[in-house]
Amino acid sequence: MNSRERVMAAIDHKEPDYVPLDLGATPSSGISAIAYNNLKKHMGITDGHTRVYDVVQQVVIPEQNLIDEFGVDVIDIGRVFNEKDSDWYDVTLADGSIGQYPVWFRPKRQGDGQQNLVEKTNRFVVDKEGTQIAKMPVGATFFDQTYFPYVDDYPDDYSDLDHQMGKVLWSALVHSPWDHAGEKGFYSELRRRTLELRKSTDKALMITCGCNLFEWGTFLRRMDNFLMDIYADPENVKALVDQLMERHLATLSCVCDAVGDIVDILRFGDDLGMDTGMFMSQEKYRELFKPYHTQLNEYVHKNSSMKTFLHSCGSIYPIIGDLIDAGYDVLNPVQTTAYQMDPATLKKEFGKDITFWGGGCNTRSVLNRSTPQEVYDYTRKMIDIFGPGGGFVFNQEHNIMPDVPPENLLAMYKAVADSR
């Protein structure tokens, strides 16, 4: 099997020749810039670049030599944009190492112009209208949202929704290929470049399309307000989600037309859980979000050959059956550290109906805090649980964070290699 065949067999619940591997095909399955620099240094790699394509989370585009080294089977088509050295510039990361930002991203610092203050002050992002939309506090390694357009109340009408969505950091600072979406002929160029990529690689191809619903409610209203709205003001929640769906379906129409016959997997996102449980009851999920999730999946499956992938963090065991019913093919990151997310139980109850893309190594207390041998043993155990019968693509639980020792990363990837 080649990489594409391996990934697609796993998603189709057929036994692949061995468990496929993802590193960096999505903004929730990658590696932070600091961890990436530490890994390259440990491996003696002195060339190449640490390019931060997701500037909010400070996640990098894995380079081809590391994709080859670890046997990665799937890549993000966003890499077909921002390919020139002139598309990037050097920056100093929080640990003092060097990375690169895309040239369109120019965060400011408190104390700019006073060199002795610059490295000890917050980074922040101000949009063209002068609104501060994001902030990275001193010592932090990602940007926080600071502007919530509807924090005080819902609008009387949604004529300004596109403008307000554009002021939210997840939209204003969007990763490739979407940082080029405003350019003339974008979808034609996306198709041309993606066709070239498919001809040049046997890797499975992924596109991230977001289409968040619950999360966009939190981006616009702020988390605390939107959680209360779900119970106290469901009519306004429905009205907002209806507006979001109009925009999401319009985007999906363009994506399916442009690359729906080229790309293998389309990633959606909607974090529905936390460590201790869901953000809402199963009943509220079914009432307010499941019908729309179903509509998104039906559109993609009807209008393309792409499989659908949902990134949803946390304890979501009560609704995994609903997610399967809504049509999702893949679930990520499979946060086994959360309540009711026991790996063996998940595989037994749902492993024939949805593909687990993640759960391969706990990033909260194992990958970052254990010995290399403990990481190796844990990873082999997870592969033994999730791997049989297909329905599993190896990935750690969410992104590899800056505090992960490179020795532990190599132990994790050795465990994957030894399972093959």
88 touches 135 (CB < 8 A): no
Q: Residue written as tokens 């949604």?
A: 158
102 touches 58 (CB < 8 A): no
Instruction: Supply the pTM of this predicted model.
Output: 0.96
The DSSP result for 325-348, as a single string, is: HHT-SEEE---TTSTT--HHHHHH
Within 8 A by CB and 6+ apart from 117, the residues are 109, 110, 111
pLDDT attached to residue 111: 60
pLDDT attached to residue 7: 98
From first to last of its 420 residues, the chain has per-residue pLDDT tens of 999 999 999 999 999 999 999 999 999 999 999 999 999 999 999 999 999 999 999 999 999 999 999 999 999 999 999 999 999 999 999 999 999 999 999 999 876 544 444 455 789 999 999 999 999 998 899 999 999 999 999 999 999 999 999 999 999 999 999 999 999 999 999 999 999 999 999 999 999 999 999 999 999 999 999 999 999 999 999 999 999 999 999 999 999 999 999 999 999 999 999 999 999 999 999 999 999 999 999 999 999 999 999 999 999 999 999 999 999 999 999 999 999 999 999 999 999 999 999 999 999 999 999 999 999 999 999 999 999 999 999 999 999 999 999 999 999 999 999 999
Q: Does residue 96 come out as left (phi exceeding 0), alpha (psi in the -120 to 50 range) or beta?
A: left
pLDDT digits 0-9 by tens, 228-260: 999 999 999 999 999 999 999 999 999 999 999
- Cα–Cα distances in angstroms (integers) from residue 67 to residues 7, 73, 207, 340, in the given order: 15, 8, 18, 33
Both tokens of residue 372? 């290399």
What distance in Å separates the CA atoms of residue 384 and residue 401, rounded to the nearest whole number? 25
Of the candidates 349, 293, 352, the residue with the CA atom closest to the CA atom of residue 326: 293
- Residue 100: enclosing H or E segment and its boundaries? strand 98-102
244 touches 162 (CB < 8 A): no
Which domains are seen in the chain, by residue range?
Answer: 3-31+62-76+148-418 (3.20.20.210)
Q: Order of strands across the sheet with 330-332?
A: 74-76, 204-210, 265-269, 307-311, 330-332, 355-357, 392-393
Q: End-to-end alpha-carbon separation of the chain, Å?
A: 12
355 touches 331 (CB < 8 A): yes
What distance in Å separates the CA atoms of residue 170 and residue 215, rounded to the nearest whole number? 10
Both tokens of residue 396? 């750690």
